[in-house]
Amino acid sequence: MLKTDVVVIGAGAVGCAIARELSKYEINVIVVDKNDDVGGDASKSNSAIIHTGYDAAPGTLESQLVVAANPMYDEVVKDLDVPFARIGAILPAITQEQYDQLPAIKEKAFRNHVYDVEFKTGEELLAMEPNLNPEVKGGLWIPRESIIDPFILVQALAENANANGVEFLLNTKVTGIKTENGKVKSVETTSGEIETTYVINAAGLYCDEIAEMVGKADYKVVARKGQFYILDKNTSCQVEHIVLPIPTKVTKGKLMCPTIHGNMLVGPTAEDQESKEDKSTSTEGLNSIAADVRNLVPNVNLRETITQYSGLRPNRNPEGLHFDMYDDLQGYVNLSGVRSTGLTLSLSMGKYVVQQLQYHGLEMTFKKNFIKERKGVVKFSECTLEEQEKLIQENPLYGNIICRCETITEAEILDAIHRPLGAKSMDAVKRRVRAGMGRCQGGFCGPKVLEILAREWQCDASEINKNVAGSYMVTGVTRR
Amino acid sequence: MSTIKKEIICTVCPRGCHMEVEGQGDQVISVTGYTCNRGLEYANTEFAHPVRILTTTVKMAGVSNDLLPVRSASPLPKEKLFDCMEVIRQTEVKLPVACHDVIISNICGTGVDIVATKSVE
Amino acid sequence: MFEINCDVVIIGGGPAGLAAAIGAKEEGAEKVLIIERDNALGGILQQCIHPGFGLTRFKEELTGPEFYGKFVDRAKELGVEYMLNSMVLSVDHENSQVICVSSEKGMTCVHAGSIVLAMGCRERTRANIVTPGTRPAGLYTAGAAQRLVNRQNIMVGKKVVILGSGDIGMIMARRMSLEGAKVVCVVELMSYLAGLTRNRVQCLDDFGIPLKLAHTITRIEGNERVTGVWVAPVDENKVPIKEQEEFIECDTVLFSVGLLPENELTRKAGIAINPITNGPEVNQYMQTSVPGVFACGNVVHVNDLADNVSEESARAGKYAAQYAMKKLPTSTGTVTCVTGRNVRYLCPQKIQKAEGSEKVSLYFRVLNPELGVKLVAKCGDEIIAQKKAFRVNPGEMDHIAVDTAKLTTDAITVEVVKED
């Protein structure tokens, strides 16, 4: 039987951030996840924004964690080599009614300890963002709202945790949690039983099912679907900041912002649903994005879309972000309601959980040889000519462009496959190096990436998945 | 023997005339709807013995991730296409191959050869 | 950095690039170099193993490999040079050079007297047409599936629905059927066939594959692998009629929903792009808005036949060679080509007037199918060329030849008029 100190259930942003934080100490940690890659659910399908918490409900744990997390990013993205930019957000008021709401929004930001929100006139906003609705009357500027590569963030946290001794059991489903005398004893998984003192339920969408295993499901996860458009890098109408809508009583509205890689992101919808599996887009949903975002950016050209996707935010009923530990179940930590702010607060949640574990008796000794840094895949397309020459001299596969839309080389794809917690599926390659993330959506590079994956994992192409088990890419050969 | 009617869309030129052919067995009795003699000829063949060029691929010995493109040197009876595919599926060719080398001669007794459409060293 | 000098450099070794190289050589250019990203010449025709090529040019029906094979043989005979596995990263027209990369040579700078863009086109995707639903495995563009099946010895699926009745879609329907897959149906948004009638007969009818005109896929289902699609008829505004939606089970969906010229390099180089064709604007020499840069084939506008690509590309090569040798005729004025009734676009978009007269063919596509029409080219009210057409179809290119000596105004309009 595997034996450890802490089992983290879920390798999303929060699970990986907790694992990395724990890896700073002399503690044995195992992360389990049902998917074959880290960051497989909510952490991959979101708006990729690092929030300030200006609009959180003041006084809540969520407010506290988001506000604390934002400043942590500057150092972490440097240490872990994660694409990140502090581009700032604007909140334009188009109608008088919206304009009248600005003071209250600013005051709420103040109560959330976000003091750097500024008022801007309509002219100032149009100068910052020429494609804004010319009717704009004024608005707020929230300078520390930022954008990030959410895939790389999770991978980087996981890889770094792994480099510091955390074990990852992927393709592993938790089937039960054994307790004894009001204490956690072990976690039963499809990869065997793991004896442990602490269990952290960071299972996101499925956290109620895990909680059920220990009789602590006093809430239900309500999946809130968000549909998005991604627009071509060449799209005619672009924005340089995160353009946020002023929320109404009915809806929080749709935003438009650049992604860290230069595409435009437009969305999301907010649709509560029963199913945790249904991540489909719908005509109605996509059309509602078009209608809403045109109020902010009238000339947005959604026909220049290269993809649409939807993600499920793991909301809960009763609502709100919850951190729970129980007197009658020692060693068990339950996180729930980790919703749209989850990506942002993953870093502070890591700190929070570790501190709470310490309060609850986990002995914490700093690891002397903690490796703080993690290097990402070298991006050939972002190098200077001289650097590119040098890369090819050292490894000729940097001269073989596989993804022509994003200029991704074979060397980068091999790096994605062979680094720790490396890519096994098409999407795992895509989320690491962006091969297939461009305008042809893998039309050209897909067949080549498939061939490379099969070659590197020494398997048949029919064994390569798009992402999860069962998502086989091809059915076999045409000629034996 | 009873007469049958077949509607045939001409594929000789992009005009795509819709023709109606009446016949008995292999014998054409009448053709209507054609607008040129090539169309008439097409209708006659298509009614009695429709033929098609077959293009597909053949396995190359020692190569697992590439295939040799091949074709029938001339059109084959349409109803034999799947029989021919069965034979082609079982075939493996040794390299090198030159374009138009015969890969399978007289496939399925049709008198038609399957030839390479590309040279491979 | 590795440096190469040549007279004409051609980006892309598909049918366009090959024909341009031959054209340039035949015109007298000494050193002509093709830069090709694939591991062989031939471009997309390498996977187009079906017949239907060469009827115009060679008066016989060839398969894709046979067709480009002839061009490769001729190019080699003429001493055209080529670099394989080499990707062009940028076109620097100010210094008349291109930067490319390969494993073999590393970063390479090619200095050239003139540059020919022949990068071809790419396929529109499911995302481009915004088909809702899930994002499972088993969704392919028809061309990607064609590459896997014909070149990589990989079978993509067993039960297939195809969206789009363009020629590639229909040809893949036949191909998949011959390889043992069940093609459930071909779904087409328009009320008419997008490709050639002969392909409908030989690729769909022969295999009993139903064609659903005026239908579309309204939703994709399946979380891991696609499990099926919802298909509905569309009304006259192409809006799906929800009440008549039906579920069709399948494990594979092929999208054959149009091609887009691939102009990343062109855009980066600041060359003017036509918003309708999505390709560079050219004159009759296939010269772009940048004098030393020429373009041909599907990078300029999506052609219907490879034969037309070779014709146009041979011209691009010829004039690119003339430019490199400083022999391109001096322009005495520019005439703009204007689209008239039922004409979607014209290629070339401009005509350079020069000493003497010259026949220039204006290629175009119509907006809507029509029967019994006349194609007319006019300068002002004066008709300078006309010809009858039994039928015009958006899926097929038409052309009309004009005499440059007859161009009396600075604009020429081409229109399709109903015959009285």
Q: What is the pLDDT of residues A266-277, one digit of tens each?
A: 999 999 999 999
- In whole angstroms, give the CA distance from residue A301 to residue C402: 38
Q: How confident is the model at residue B14 (pLDDT cuts 50, 70, 90)?
A: low
pLDDT band at B64 (very low <50, low <70, confident <90, very high): confident
Amino acid in the structure at residue C357: S
C-chain CB neighbours of A404 within 8 Å are: 37, 87, 264
* Region A84-147+222-314: CATH code: 3.30.9.10
Peptide bond into C348 cis (omega under 30): yes
Please list the alpha-helical segments (H only) found in A275-418.
283-296, 342-359, 385-394, 410-418
**Is residue C20 located within the same domain as residue C30?**
yes
C-alpha distance from B67 to closest chain C C-alpha (Å): 6
CB of B57 within 8 Å of a chain A CB? The answer is yes
Q: Is the dihedral of CA C191, C195, C198, C201 positive or negative?
A: negative
Cβ atoms < 10 Å from Cβ of A267: 27
Q: Is C150 on the interface with B (CB under 8 A)?
A: yes
Judged by CB atoms closer than 8 Å, whether chains meet at A450 and C154 is answered as yes
C-alpha pair distances (Å), C179 with each of A44, A464, C62, C160: 37, 21, 21, 12
Gap between the Cα atoms of C390 and C367, Å rounded: 16
The reported pTM is 0.95
How many alpha carbons lie under 13 Å from residue A285 in its C-beta half-sphere?
26
Quick one: tokens of A254? 């749709």
Token digits of residue A162:
């792994």
Domain count, chain C: 3
Name the residue range of residue C364's domain.
330-420
Dist. CA A266–CA A301, nearest whole Å: 10
Helices A445-456 and C142-151: crossing angle in degrees, nearest 10, is: 40
Among C257, C283, C303, the domain-final residue is C257
Tell me the longest C-alpha to C-alpha distance in chain A. 71
Do C338 and C383 share a domain, yes or no? yes
Cβ atoms of C97 and C33 closer than 8 Å: no
Determine the 3-state secondary structure of C56 from DSSP. Answer: coil
Q: Which of A309, A399, A472 sits opposite C106 (nearest CB)?
A: A399
Half-sphere exposure of A255 (CA within 13 A, CB side): 22
Q: What is the mean pLDDT of chain B?
A: 93
Pairing verdict, β C32-35 and C2-11: parallel
Peptide bond into B96 cis (omega under 30): yes
Element (H, E) at C70: helix C64-78
Does domain A380-463 fall into CATH 1.10.10? yes
Closest Cα partner for A52 from A92, A19, A87, A101?
A87
User: C239, C257, C275: which is the final residue of a domain?
Assistant: C257
Same domain, C142 and C114: no
Over the stretch C296-353, which tens digit does the pLDDT of each residue have?
999 999 998 899 999 999 999 999 999 999 999 999 999 999 999 999 999 999 999 9
Q: Which residues contact A368 (CB under 8 A, 6 or more apart)?
A: none
CA distance C155 to chain A (A): 5
Could you state, in order of their start, the residue ranges of all structural domains in chain B?
A: 4-49, 55-116
Tokens 């924004």 belong to A49
CATH number of the domain within which C49 lies = 3.50.50.60
A-side interface with B, Cβ within 8 Å? 451, 477-480
Chain segment C186-222, per-residue pLDDT in tens? 999 999 888 888 899 999 999 999 999 999 999 999 9
pLDDT band at B13 (very low <50, low <70, confident <90, very high): confident
Residues in contact with C146: Cβ distance below 8 Å, sequence separation at least 6, in sequence order: C47, C48, C168, C171, C172, C175
CB-nearest to A475 from C128, C153, C155 is: C155
Q: Are residues C182 and C102 in the same domain?
A: no
Q: Which residue's structure tokens are 């993804």?
A: A403
pLDDT at position B17? 85
Where are the strands (E) in B10-77, listed by range? 18-24, 27-32, 51-52, 55-60, 67-72, 76-77
A77 and A157 in contact (C-beta within 8 Å)? no
Q: What single letter denotes the amino acid at residue B79?
A: E
pLDDT in tens, chain C (420 residues): 899 999 999 999 999 999 999 999 999 999 999 999 999 999 999 999 999 999 888 989 899 999 999 999 999 999 999 999 999 999 999 999 999 999 999 999 999 999 999 999 999 999 999 999 999 999 999 999 999 999 999 999 999 999 999 999 999 999 999 999 999 999 999 998 888 888 999 999 999 999 999 999 999 999 999 999 999 999 999 999 999 999 999 999 999 999 999 999 999 999 999 999 999 999 999 999 999 999 999 999 999 889 999 999 999 999 999 999 999 999 999 999 999 999 999 999 999 999 888 999 999 999 998 999 999 999 999 999 999 998 888 888 999 999 999 998 999 999 999 987
State which of C278, C303, C328 marks the end of a domain: C328
Q: Which of the 8 DSSP states describes residue A469?
A: T
The CA distance from C342 to the nearest CA of chain A, in Å, is 24
Q: What DSSP state is assigned to residue B88?
A: H
Q: What gap in Å lies between CA A363 and CA A358, rounded to an integer?
A: 6
| Contact call for B14 and C391, based on CB within 8 A | yes
Q: Chains touching chain C at 3 or more Cβ pairs under 8 angstroms?
A: A, B
Confidence of residue A253 (pLDDT cuts 50, 70, 90): confident
Domains in chain A: boundaries = 2-45+150-219+319-359, 84-147+222-314, 380-463
Which domain CATH number covers C404? 2.60.40
Asked if B89 is an interface residue toward chain A (Cβ–Cβ < 8 A), one would say yes
Residue C383 — φ and ψ, nearest 5°? -80, 120
Contact between C174 and C162 under an 8 Å Cβ cutoff? The reply is: no
* C153 closest CB neighbour out of B66, B78, B118: B66
Q: How far is A22 from chain C (nearest CA, A)?
A: 33
C89 chain-A contacts, CB cut-off 8 A: 407
Q: How many helices (H) and strands (E) does chain A have?
A: 13, 24
C203 → chain B, closest CA residue:
B52
One domain, residues C78 and C160: no
Q: Quick check: A105 and A99 in contact, CB under 8 A?
A: no
* pLDDT at B2 (0 to 100): 81
Which phi and psi angles does A77 have, rounded to 5°? Answer: -65, -30
Query: May I ask the CATH class of domain A2-45+150-219+319-359?
Result: alpha beta
Is residue A414 classed as helix, strand or coil in its secondary structure?
Answer: helix
Instruction: Please check whether residue C400 is in contact with residue C361, taking contact to mean a CB–CB distance below 8 angstroms.
Output: yes
Over its C-alpha atoms, chain B yields an Rg (Å, rounded) of: 18
Is B6 near chain A, with CB under 8 Å? no
pLDDT at A397 over 90: yes
Cβ-Cβ contacts under 8 Å, C85 against chain A = 399-400
3.20.20.70, 3.10.530.10, 3.40.190.10, 3.40.50.2300: CATH of B55-116:
3.10.530.10
Contact in structure between A257 and A200 (CB atoms under 8 Å): no
* A443/C141 touch (CB, cutoff 8 Å), yes or no: yes
User: What does the pLDDT look like over A139-192, one tens digit per residue?
Assistant: 999 999 999 999 999 999 999 999 999 999 999 999 999 999 999 999 999 999
Burial label, A266 (beta-carbon count in 10 A; 0-12, 13-18, 19+) = buried
Is A113 catalytic? The answer is no
Mutate to test the interface with C, among B45, B54, B55 (most CBs of C within 10 A): B55
Q: B57 vs A478: CB contact, 8 Å cut-off?
A: yes
Note whether A479 contacts B65, CB cutoff 8 Å.
no
**Beta strands of A45-163 (E only): which ranges?**
49-50, 84-85, 89-93, 118-121, 138-142, 146-148
Instruction: Indicate yes or no: CB of C122 within 8 angstroms of CB of A442.
Output: no
Q: Which residues of C touch B112 (CB under 8 A)?
A: none
Looking at the fold, whether C101 and C5 belong to one and the same domain comes out as yes
**Neighbouring subunits of B (3+ Cβ pairs under 8 A):** A, C
Tokens 């009448």 found at: B30
Chain C contacts of B70, Cβ < 8 Å? 49
How near does any CA of chain C get to the CA of B84, in Å? 10
Between chains, do A478 and B67 touch, taking CB under 8 Å as contact? yes
Paired with B60 in beta bridges are B93
Question: What one-letter code names the amino acid at A256?
Answer: M
Residue B50 burial (10 A CB sphere; 0-12, 13-18, 19+): middle
pLDDT higher than 90, residue A92:
yes
Q: Give the ipTM.
A: 0.94
Per-residue pLDDT tens over the stretch B44-56:
999 989 999 999 9
3 state SS of A80: helix
pLDDT band at B1; cut points 50, 70, 90: low
- Helix, strand, coil percentages in chain C from 3-state DSSP, rounded to 5: 25, 40, 40
